[in-house]
Structure 1
Amino acid sequence: MQTVDTLIHARWVIPVAPRGVVLDNHSVAIDGDKIIALLPTSEAKGRYSARHEHQLAEHALIPGLVNLHGHSAMTLLRGLADDLALMDWLNHHIWPAEKRHLSDEFVFDGTCLAMAEMLRSGTTTVNDMYFFHDAVARAGLTARMRTVVGASILEFPTAYGVDAEDYLSKAISSRDRFIGEPLVTFTLAPHAPYTVSDATFRRVVTLAEQLELGVHCHIHETEEEIAGSLKEHGRRPLQRLHELGLLTPNLIAAHMVHTTPEEIELLARQGVTIAHNPASNMKLASGIAQIQAMRDADIAVGIGTDGAASNNKLDMFAEMRLAAFLGKVGGNPKALPAAEVLEMATLGGARALGMADQIGSITPGKQADLAAVDLSALETQPCYDPISHLVYAAGREQVSDVWVAGKALLQSRELTTLNQRELVAKARWWGERVAKA
Structure 2
Amino acid sequence: MIVDTVIHARWIIPVEPESVTSRIAPDNGSPVRESAPDALYEYHTLVIDDGRIIDLLPTAMARQKYQGTTTENLESHALLPGFINSHTHAAMTLLRGIADDLHLMDWLQNHIWPLEQKWMSEAFVRDGTDLAIAEMILGGTTCFNDMYFFPEVTAQQAMHHGIRASVGLIVIDFPSVWAENSEAYIEKGLALHDQLRHHPLISTPFAPHAPYTVSDEPLSRIRTFADELELPVHMHVHETLHEVEQEQQKTGQRPLRRLHELGLLSPSFMAVHMTQLTDDEIQLVAETGAHIVHCPESNLKLASGFSPIAKCLAGGINVALGTDGAASNNDLDMLGEMRMAALLGKAVANDASAIPAMTALRMATINGAKALGLDHEIGSLSIGKSADVIAIDLDRLETQPLYCPISQIVYAASRQQVTDVWVAGKHLLKQRHLTTIDITDLKRKIGEWRQRLSQ
Q: TM-score, normalization: structure 2? A: 0.95
Cα distance in 2 between the residues matched to 1:268 and 1:331? 22
* Secondary structure of the structure 2 residue equivalent to 1:180: coil
The CA distance in 1 between the partners of 2:448 and 2:60, in whole Å, is 51
Find the aligned partners of 2:279 and 2:297 in 1 and give their Cα distance: 23
Deviation per CA, 1:63-118, whole angstroms, max 9, x where unpaired? 00000000000001111110111111110011100001111111111111101100
What is the one-letter code of the residue matched to 2:393? D
Matched, 1:350 2:349: no
Of 312-321 and 423-432, more deviation after overlay is shown by 423-432
Letter in 1 for 2:323: T
SS of residue paired to 2:421: strand
Q: Structure 1 residue 136 and structure 2 residue 135: aligned?
A: no
Matches of 2:177 and 2:452, distance apart in 1: 17
SS of alignment partner, residue 328 of structure 1: helix
Supply the RMSD in Å over aligned alpha carbons. Answer: 0.8
Equivalent residue pairs, number: 435
How far the C-alpha of 1:189 sits from its partner, in A, is 0.5
Give 1:155's match in structure 2, choosing from 156, 173, 178. Answer: 173
User: 1:236 deviation in Å?
Assistant: 0.3
Matched, 1:185 2:203: yes
Given that 2:323 and 2:329 are in contact with CA atoms closer than 8 Å, whether structure 1 keeps it comes out as yes
Tell me, what secondary structure is at the counterpart of 1:16?
coil
Shift of 1:368: 0.2
- Structure 1 residue aligned with 2:109: 91
SS at 1:400's partner residue? strand
Partner of 1:233: 251
| % same residue | 50
User: How far did residue 167 of structure 1 move?
Assistant: 0.7
Residue of structure 2 in register with 1:108 after alignment: 126
Deviations 1:306-364 (A, max 9, x none): 00000000000000000000111032111010011101110000011111111111111
User: Are 2:414 and 1:385 aligned?
Assistant: no
Query: Which of 55, 67, 83 is equivalent to 1:37?
Result: 55
Post-superposition offset of 1:30: 0.3
Does the aligned pair in 2 maintain the 1:347–1:359 contact within 8 Å?
yes
Deviations 1:220-261 (A, max 9, x none): 000000010001111000001111111111101000111000
Q: Is 1:27–1:41's contact at 8 Å kept on the other side of the alignment?
A: yes
Unaligned ranges ≥5, structure 1? none
Equivalent pair of 2:234/2:271 in contact (CA under 8 Å): yes
2:420 equivalent to 1:401: yes
Contact kept in structure 2, 1:317 and 1:391, CA below 8 Å: yes
| Contact kept? 1:328, 1:335, Cα under 8 Å | yes
CA contact (8 A) 2:209 2:235 kept: yes
Q: 1:416 aligns with which of 431, 435, 439?
A: 435
* CA-CA distance at 1:179 after TM superposition: 2.5
Amino acid at match of 1:410: L
Instruction: Name the CA distance, whole Å, in 1 between partners of 2:368 and 2:201.
Output: 16
Q: Which moved more, 1:12-21 or 1:32-41?
A: 12-21
- Which of structure 1's runs of 4+ aligned residues deviate more than 6 A? none
SS in 1 for 2:272: strand
Q: Secondary structure at the match of 1:69?
A: strand
Q: Secondary structure at the match of 1:173?
A: helix
2:4 maps to 5
Higher relative contact order by CA 8 Å / sep ≥ 6: 1 or 2? 1
Determine the structure 1 residue equivalent to 2:283: 265
The secondary structure found in structure 2 opposite 1:402 is: strand
Counterpart CA distance in 1 for 2:120 and 2:252 is 35
Cα contact 1:142–1:418 (8 A) shared by 2? no
**Retained in 2: the 8 A contact 1:98–1:159?**
no
Give the whole-Å Cα distance in 1 for the aligned partners of 2:379 and 2:260: 29
Q: Can you list the C-alpha shifts for 1:9-42, whole angstroms capped at 9, x where unaligned?
A: 1110000011761100100000011000000001
Find 1:359's aligned residue among 357, 378, 384: 378
The corresponding residue for 1:248 is: 266
Counterpart in 2 of 1:285?
303
Equivalent residue number for residue 137 of structure 2: 119
In 2, distance between residues paired with 1:359 and 1:274?
Answer: 18
